[in-house]
Amino acid sequence: MTETARPADAPALTPDRVEAAAATLAGRIRTTPILTVDGRELGVEGTVTLKLELLQHSGTFKARGALNFLSTNPVADAGVTAASGGNHGVAVAWAAARLGHRATIFVPTISAPAKVARLRALGAEVVQTGDVYADALAACREHQATTGATSVHAYEAVDVMAGAGTTARELEAQVAAAGLPPIDSVLVACGGGGLSGGIAGWLGDRAEVVAGETDGTAAWARAREAGRPVDVDVSGIAADALGATRLGQLAFDTLAGAGAASVVVDDEATIAARRFLWAEFRLAVEASAAVPVAALVTGAWRPPSGSHTAVVVCGANTSPADLDPDPERQTP
């Protein structure tokens, strides 16, 4: 199954929409911290600021978009429904529980057990179906058509993307408050494009947005080459979070409009970056969150010498059991 094109009259993501989302979310989500380090710790010249969005409610940035959507749109008596690789579903389930709505979440069979368990812990009805996100989305749409439940799309709803964009708004404010130089570039993982598009929609031309993907989830890279969203084969270590078969049209329009760059890394680099974040910073992240770090430490993307690079560390819905290479050496 593939996504349909976004209607010409569909709302676009603008900074005003991100501002409105920030007002809606004020006091209802966490202001996640930043960590600024010498870039040489990640193999680059200059300054690197990590935006620790893995500490957000629901374990990822997606809580911002889910809560913004459900707070600004009417919800049917049948409750809410969403298709997800895991993280968007967890965020929708969290937001629905907070607002008193029922949630039915459709996920593919590749979804990480930690994410499925968290969905159930939040009280959502979980339906696992199909091999990839597109299969879960098809089942979700059928459920929505049958029940009338309110559907929350992971990256084609402007209110979801505007919520994600508040990550960049918050990051810029924190950088300024810390007396740091303005950000020159932001590296961020890209699946369907909700987060990267939200960040690009807020930043515009103030900073370069670099959307990172694995070679098994390269929807933005292929869309950028083709000049439009196209279907890609999904596979690999980050498929449960970045495994959109096709980049969203709203994300494409926003990323292309901002001139966003693309960087693609392989699974081995992603696994190594995930372990690096644990070893060096004690950050237990899922594979998708390690992708932009992998782009830096491998040299797949090089910021200009002396520049200020931000990296959004976007999620932590994972088991940390495989992060320590020698757990028997750890002190009890």
> Which domain CATH number covers 128?
3.40.50.1100
Q: Which pLDDT score is estimated for 132?
A: 84
Contact 242, 217 (CB under 8 A): yes
- Does the structure show a pLDDT above 50 at 194? yes
| Cα(301)–Cα(294) distance, integer angstroms | 9
- Strands (E) in 73-115, as ranges, are 80-83, 103-107
Q: Does the pLDDT of residue 170 top 90, yes or no?
A: yes
What's residue 10's pLDDT?
A: 62
The reply to whether 55 and 67 lie within a common domain is: no
Q: Is residue 327 part of a domain?
A: no
CB 216 within 8 A of CB 239: yes
- 263-318: per-residue pLDDT in tens? 999 999 999 999 999 999 999 999 999 999 999 999 999 999 999 999 999 999 88
Considering the domain boundaries, does residue 5 fall inside one?
no
Q: Which of the listed residues 151, 183, 203 is the one where a domain comes to its end?
A: 151
User: What is the pLDDT, as a whole number, of residue 329?
Assistant: 43
Asked if residue 301 is part of any domain, the answer here is: yes
Q: Are residues 79 and 193 in the same domain?
A: no
Give the least confident one: 32-46, 83-97, 161-175: 83-97
Are 143 and 167 in the same domain?
Answer: no
Show the domain range for 214. 15-61+158-320
According to DSSP, the residues that pair with 34 across neighbouring strands are 51
How many domains are there within the chain?
2
pLDDT, tens digit, 9 for 90 and up, residues 87-140: 899 999 999 999 999 999 999 888 888 888 889 999 999 999 998 888 988 999
pLDDT of residue 320: 85
pTM of the model: 0.91
204, β-bridge pairs: none
Per-residue model confidence (pLDDT) at position 110: 84
- Residue 17 burial (C-beta neighbours within 10 Å; 0-12, 13-18, 19+): buried
